[in-house]
Amino acid sequence: MLAHGLGRSYGDAALIDGGKAVLTRRLDRMLDFDPETGWLRCEAGVSIEDILETFVPRGFFPPVTPGTKFVTAGGALGCDVHGKNHHVDGCWSNHVRRVELLTASGEVVTCDREQEPELFAATVGGMGMTGIILAMDVKLTPIHNPWIAMESIRVENLDHFFEVSAQSSSFTHTVSWIDCVKRGKGMGRGIFMRGRHANADEVGHASALTKLIEVADPVMAVPVNGPNWLLNNASIRLFNEAYFRKHPKGQKNVLQHFEPFFYPLDFVRDWNRIYGKRGFLQYQLVVPKTSDNAPLRAVLDAITKSGMGSFLAVIKEFGDLSNGGLSFPMPGVTLALDFANYGQPLLDLMERLDAIVVEAGGRVYLGKDARVSRATFRRMYPEWEAWKAVRDKWDPQRVFQSDLGRRLGLVGGAA
Ligand SMILES: Cc1cc2nc3c(=O)[nH]c(=O)nc-3n(C[C@H](O)[C@H](O)[C@H](O)COP(=O)(O)OP(=O)(O)OC[C@H]3O[C@@H](n4cnc5c(N)ncnc54)[C@H](O)[C@@H]3O)c2cc1C
């Protein structure tokens, strides 16, 4: 069996062919909250959306949030999710002090950094394979209001991105959209966004969009699958050009509501349908930073040469916090790409990207993966064996499995 939250992981992490998916969404109670410290004790099916609805009016925010609010606390810990504030605050697990886990023996084990610390560490980013998280203590961040003081800067190429990124360490949240079909001098151009929760005296004006959020959520929906030809190299190139040009040269400063800042995709229900029936694949990598960032350039070069552009691409520098085991973030630069499913040519491209990433000492995010090979995975996550030893100790009968775990050799005895 396998815990399944809101199913927002992109690949096979929350799937179990022929097994039982344990739907955790009804574990939705908030058990305790201390407004003095921000510690929330909640069940694992409580979603980030639930936390926002309950706590933003009370002056608190999730400590870390991915690019969608439709994820559960259990899923956030299972994938050890990161957000725009990784360089300051690390991952979800860095704000969790205690976990209640239903283990394979049927026993509920409370684990933290002192009590069963190995089990706690293996559960962080453990992709559901150590048991079913029932509840956790997570520390919320105090805020004054729902606004984000945001600056957006047009960056002209990859060097410019790193320059702006280096100047942005005082901002708690940073991320950049990147035009990954642009070649030559403009390779790596994009729009860099940096922000922080607004001060008490910084209150924005509710835009028509923000008002709409309150009455309809999500605001729009893609009603049918788009035709397969909709997203092709030419249309992606056109979109990227227009998006880049729409932003004036230089910098814009605004007070933005947190919803469009953190969750732009959540406004469009079933946004994945724009890829058509063939669907799409995500590829998120991290590589250590180097003086010339040659691996990153090699990745962008391979993509532009392939003619398979990524429709949505974001780049961000991670901070130094790394949680080991199967947790994805490590010091370096992360690039997240969405490719329409071009079939075998895309899988071939991804293998070429894997080779660059492994060579550079990097890895791909398991929460967004559906195809990396066992051998490549082992080179990307050298701690896998130690992680598996803990998992096997707690689950010798292999009660908890997933398609991802089987593919990567994490739940079986055989090498
Ligand atoms: C639009 C979009 C943007 C995203 N942006 C980001 C981002 O910025 N950063 C980032 O890190 N991720 C990002 N993600 C990925 C997403 O945050 C993670 O995959 C997250 O884990 C999904 O949560 P979920 O509740 O849907 O979990 P699921 O997808 O259902 O499960 C994910 C994994 O967690 C395990 N799991 C779930 N619940 C439990 C439980 N109770 N006990 C034990 N294990 C459990 C599952 O077994 C599975 O292995 C994004 C996804 C989308 C769709």
Give the model's pLDDT for residue 247.
84
Q: What residue ranges line ligand 1, CB within 6 angstroms?
A: 2-9, 13-14, 24, 44, 66-68, 71-72, 74-76, 78-79, 81-83, 127-128, 132-133, 265, 367, 402
Which H or E element spans position 89? helix 86-89
DSSP state of 272: G
- Which of 415, 382, 411 is closest to 398 using CA atoms? 411
Q: Is the pLDDT score of 85 beyond 90? A: yes
Spatial neighbors of 192 by CB under 8 A, at least 6 apart, are 152, 153, 154, 155, 161, 164, 165, 168, 174, 175, 176
Query: Integer distance in angstroms from the first to the last C-alpha of the chain?
Result: 21
Which has the higher per-residue pLDDT, 54 or 223? 54
* Per-residue confidence (pLDDT) for residue 283, from 0 to 100: 97
182 or 299, which is more confident?
A: 299
CA diameter of the chain:
60
Report which DSSP code applies to 397: T
d(CA 8, CA 263): 13
Please tell me the predicted confidence (pLDDT) of residue 171.
97
Query: Coil, strand, or helix at residue 285?
Result: strand
Q: Which of 1, 2, 6, 8 to mutate to test the pocket of ligand 1 (most atoms within 8 A of CB)?
A: 8
Q: Which residues are CB-contacts of 217 (< 8 A; sequence separation ≥ 6)?
A: 266
Alpha-helix residue ranges (DSSP H) falling in 125-257: 158-166, 208-215, 233-246
Q: Which residue's alpha carbon is at the smallest distance from atom 53 of ligand 1?
A: 8
Structure-token pair, residue 351: 């293998």
Contact 13, 80 (CB under 8 A): no
For residue 24, the ligand 1 atom closest to its alpha carbon is 41
9-28 exposure pattern, b = at least 16 Cβ within 10 A, e = fewer? bbbbbbbbeeeeebebbebe
* Rg of the Cα atoms in the chain: 21
- Structure letter (DSSP) for residue 72: B
pTM across the whole model = 0.94
What domains appear along the chain, each with residue ranges and CATH number? 2-143+383-407 (3.30.465.10), 147-200+228-251+279-374 (3.40.462.20)
Query: Which of the four pLDDT bands, split at 50, 70 and 90, describes residue 205?
Result: confident
Lowest mean pLDDT among 164-178, 217-231, 268-282: 217-231
Distance of CA 333 to the CA centre of its chain: 14
Residue 314 tokens read as: 């974001």
Distance, in Å, from the CA atom of 371 to the CA atom of 403, rounded to the nearest integer, reads: 11
Distance, in Å, from the CA atom of 113 to the CA atom of 160, rounded to the nearest integer, reads 40
**Mean model confidence pLDDT for the chain:** 92
Q: What is the pLDDT of residues 352-401, one digit of tens each?
A: 999 999 999 999 999 999 999 999 999 999 999 999 999 999 999 999 99
pLDDT (tens digit per residue) in 227-244: 766 667 777 777 777 777
Q: Which residue has its alpha carbon closest to ligand 1 atom 5? A: 67
